[in-house]
Amino acid sequence: MKNPKILLLGAGGFIGANLTERLLQDGKYEVTAIDIESEKLEDRLDHAKLNFKQHDIRSRCDSLDNMVKDHDLVVDLVAMANPSLYVTNPIDVFDLNFTENLRIVDSCLKYNKRIIQFSTCEVYGKTVASVLGKDPAEMPFPFNEDTTPMIMGPIKNHRWIYACAKQLLERVLHAYGLEKGLNYTIIRPFNFIGPRIDFLPSEKAGNPRVFSHFMNGLLYGTPMQLVDGGINYRAYTYIDDAVDCMIRIIDNPGGVCDREIFNIGTPENEVTIKELAHMMKKVFDEDFRQPGDPDPEIVSVSSEEFYGKGYEDCDRRIPDVTKARTKLGWHSKHDIRSVIHHTMKYFVDQHRAKQKAA
Is the C-alpha dihedral spanning 210, 236, 242, 216 positive or negative? positive
Mean pLDDT of 187-204: 93
Q: Write down how long the chain is.
A: 358
DSSP 61-102: SSHHHHHHHT-SEEEE------HHHHHH-HHHHHIIIIIIHH
pLDDT in tens, 199-223: 899 988 778 899 999 999 999 999 9
Residue-averaged pLDDT of the chain? 94
More confident residue, 117 or 60: 117
Return the closest-CA partner of residue 158 out of 209, 83, 76. 83
**Considering the domain boundaries, does residue 45 fall inside one?**
no
Q: Convert 48-69 to b/e letters by CB count within 10 Å (16 or more is b).
A: ebbebeebebeeeeeebeebbe
Mean pLDDT of 285-312: 94
CATH code of the domain covering residue 353 = 3.40.50.720
Q: Which residues contact 352 (CB under 8 A, 6 or more apart)?
A: none
pLDDT in tens, 70-96: 999 999 999 988 888 899 999 999 999
pLDDT of residue 319: 98
The residue segments making up the domain with residue 235 are: 79-357
Across 37-41, 245-249, 320-324, 341-345, least confident range: 37-41
**Considering the domain boundaries, does residue 63 fall inside one?**
no
Q: How far apart are CA 20 and CA 12, in angstroms?
A: 9
> How many CA atoms within 13 Å lie on the side-chain side of 170?
23
DSSP three-state, residue 350: helix
Mean pLDDT of 163-187: 98
DSSP three-state, residue 160: helix
Structure letter (DSSP) for residue 217: H
pLDDT of residue 114: 98
**Considering the domain boundaries, does residue 229 fall inside one?**
yes
Would you tell me how many other CB atoms lie within 10 Å of the CB of residue 240?
17
**Considering the domain boundaries, does residue 281 fall inside one?**
yes
Do β-strands 270-272 and 233-235 pair in parallel, antiparallel, or remain unpaired?
antiparallel
Catalytic one of 29, 86, 124, 162? 162
pLDDT in tens, 56-67: 989 877 788 999
* Residue 125, beta-bridge partner list: 151
Does the structure show a pLDDT above 60 at 31?
Answer: yes
Question: What percent of the chain shows pLDDT beyond 70?
Answer: 100
Any catalytic annotation for residue 162?
A: yes
Mean pLDDT of 100-128: 96
- Helical segments of 112-238, H only: 128-132, 161-180, 210-220
Model pTM score: 0.96
pLDDT in tens, 12-29: 999 999 999 999 999 999
**Considering the domain boundaries, does residue 37 fall inside one?**
no
Number of domains in the chain: 1
pLDDT of residue 63: 87
* Residue 151, beta-bridge partner list: 125
Helix 336-357, helix 273-287: angle, nearest 10: 60
pLDDT in tens, 150-162: 999 999 999 999 9
Phi, psi of 282 (to 5 degrees): -65, -45
Does the structure show a pLDDT above 70 at 131?
Answer: yes
Does the structure show a pLDDT above 90 at 148?
Answer: yes
pLDDT classification of 331: cutoffs 50, 70, 90:
very high
Mean pLDDT of 302-323: 93
Does the structure show a pLDDT above 70 at 1?
Answer: no
**Considering the domain boundaries, does residue 60 fall inside one?**
no
Largest CA distance in the chain: 64
pLDDT classification of 3: cutoffs 50, 70, 90:
confident
* Range 93-99, long-range pairs (CB < 8 A, 24+ positions): 93/161, 93/162, 93/165, 94/161, 94/162, 94/164, 94/165, 95/58, 96/58, 97/162, 97/165, 97/166, 97/169, 98/165, 98/166, 98/168, 98/169
